[in-house]
Amino acid sequence: MSVPSNHHEKDKSDLNKFGYAQELLRSMGGFSNFAISFSIISILTGAVSLYGHGLTYGGSGMMGFGWPIVALFVMFVAAVMAELASAIPTAGALYHWAAILKNKRWGWYTAWINLIGQIGIVAGIDYSVALFADPLIASVFGYESSNTTVLICFTIILLTHGILNHIGIRIVSRLNDFSAWYHIAVVAVLVVSLAFFTKGHLNPVTYLFKVGETFSDKPYMFAFLIGLLQAQWTFTGFDASAHTIEETVNPRVRAPWGIFTSVAYSFVIGFIMLAFVTLSIKDAGAAAGSDNAFIYVISQALGGTFGSVILWLVTAAMWFCGLASITSFSRMMYAFSRDKGMPLSHQWAQISKKYRTPAKAIWLAIILSFLLAFIDYIIKLVNPDATYTTIAFLTAVSVVGLYVAYGIPIYLKLRAKAEGRFQKKHLGPWNLGKYSTFISVVALLWIIFICIVMVIPPNQMAGYAVAGMLILLIIMDLAYYKKHFPGPQAALNTSMDEILRREKELETTSSSKS
């Protein structure tokens, strides 16, 4: 479907008033924008790859109570981020919001913390794909799956995502559209299979809400909090709709809806899937003690061959999730480099003349994500008795990094609003009206709470990793960027009032030309 030229002109004008030219190809519709966030959230990645983590710490009650609790509060976070995306529709997203609402240094730190989270989420997603794909491939070719073969599989998966993202946004956009429908279809197949073909019988519905059972050495309430990582990591990456906002038509409406609805649909569809998987458990203790609890449960419930087919379908959905995450990560780095916020920024801000994609930023995203998993691999070789799992480490890093980055502009918006610098007239067409402040406060409190929970033992390695990266950021800031980072064009001598003034000027110019 062709897009009316007046839409493109309006979108271009909206971007120009923030100081940027339209460089990326603007071809994504509303569904495509929703699809990229829905694909990165990917209930068939987060909820599935960390199913054993949730079951081990919170038992079956983690699925009945943990998932809805996390999803409800994340919807508050998504709503506030959607409101900010509508007000400030640039690919820099989080750090542009922070820079405009406060200053360039707040923006710089937000960008780098977001980058830390993006590295973790890409590595975590593609490592999850490898954890599922490698044992399935091993069963076909007759080799033994190990940490080394998983790492090799992980590397190959990353390369496929890099190549496809390099080739073009149209291909990736179509694959993301397909991915959204594919996720829904696979969940439907999984639910129907478990509902009608489970060996024996399903557990009663009350089993889904059973509390007090944990397969860890922690007291149940403490263990339950640790187990929330399963749901919390699933609900990450929905800022992708904001990072691709410069490639979306009518972005001030479509991108906010993409952010919010991707979380809402994932909440409902994910809960239905987890309910049937949990109700099909034959032996929760054995599942929690297995190498991969989800594979164990499906194999026990559906048998070898049928179960393997389902697992291949789930693995493919995870692959689509990783593809979308590279798209989001590379756009964030492109936007940050465009503002000279990274070493060698001129390289990462380059756009491929042939494909109209930030090609070098895409491959930098691949390299950084590989290095995080590779460093963990080396640590495990040196210390094979380490008690934490690689997937828990990678996912906890991504949750803390991303949610701190989500929280900074939310906090700054509350401050700017209290000081009168952010008012009703500054809101975009998608806004929360009189409930904005209340929803923002709840969202911020949840972010503070969950970031603390995600770095307590046994996830302390994630806390150490994030702390180490933050120390490095402070050194980088004081050594160079404090004096040499110009700040994003969106925030240079710019307030929300100045942006409104520019908008009126552009509208006047456009009217006089017509």
Q: What is the pLDDT of residues 8-18, one digit of tens each?
A: 667 677 676 67
Rounded alpha-carbon distances, angstroms, from residue 95 to 213, 272, 408, 507: 42, 35, 9, 27
Q: Which amino acid is at 349?
A: A
Distance (Å, rounded) from C-alpha 28 to C-alpha 31?
A: 8
Question: Does residue 409 contact residue 98 with C-beta atoms inside 8 Å?
Answer: yes
Q: Where are the domains of the chain?
A: 28-485
Find residue 28's DSSP bridge partners. Answer: 248
Q: What is the pLDDT along the chain (514 residues), one digit of tens a residue?
A: 344 555 666 767 767 667 666 766 676 788 888 988 998 898 998 899 899 999 999 999 999 999 999 999 999 999 999 999 999 888 788 988 998 898 889 999 999 998 888 898 899 999 999 999 999 999 889 999 999 999 999 999 999 999 999 987 778 878 888 988 999 999 999 999 999 999 888 999 999 999 999 999 999 999 999 999 999 999 998 998 998 888 888 888 999 999 999 999 999 999 999 999 999 999 999 999 998 899 899 999 998 788 889 889 999 999 999 998 898 889 888 888 988 889 999 999 998 888 888 999 999 999 999 998 998 899 888 888 776 678 888 888 889 999 999 999 999 999 999 998 888 888 889 999 999 999 999 999 999 999 999 888 887 878 888 888 889 999 999 998 988 888 886 665 556 666 666 555 655 555 555 5
| Neighbour-count burial of 470, counting CB atoms closer than 10 A to its CB (0-12 exposed, 13-18 middle, 19+ buried) | middle
Find residue 248's DSSP bridge partners. Answer: 28
What does pTM read for this prediction?
0.86
Q: What is the pLDDT of residues 442-464, one digit of tens each?
A: 999 999 999 999 888 887 878 88
CATH number for the 28-485 domain, one of 3.40.50.150, 3.40.1390.10, 1.20.1740.10, 3.20.20.70?
A: 1.20.1740.10
C-alpha angle 446-123-263 in degrees, rounded to nearest 5? 40
Distance (Å, rounded) from C-alpha 54 to C-alpha 224?
A: 8
> Taking the CA atoms of the chain, what radius of gyration do you get in angstroms?
22
Q: What is the pLDDT of residues 44-103, one digit of tens each?
A: 988 998 999 999 999 999 999 999 999 999 999 999 999 999 998 887 889 889 988 988
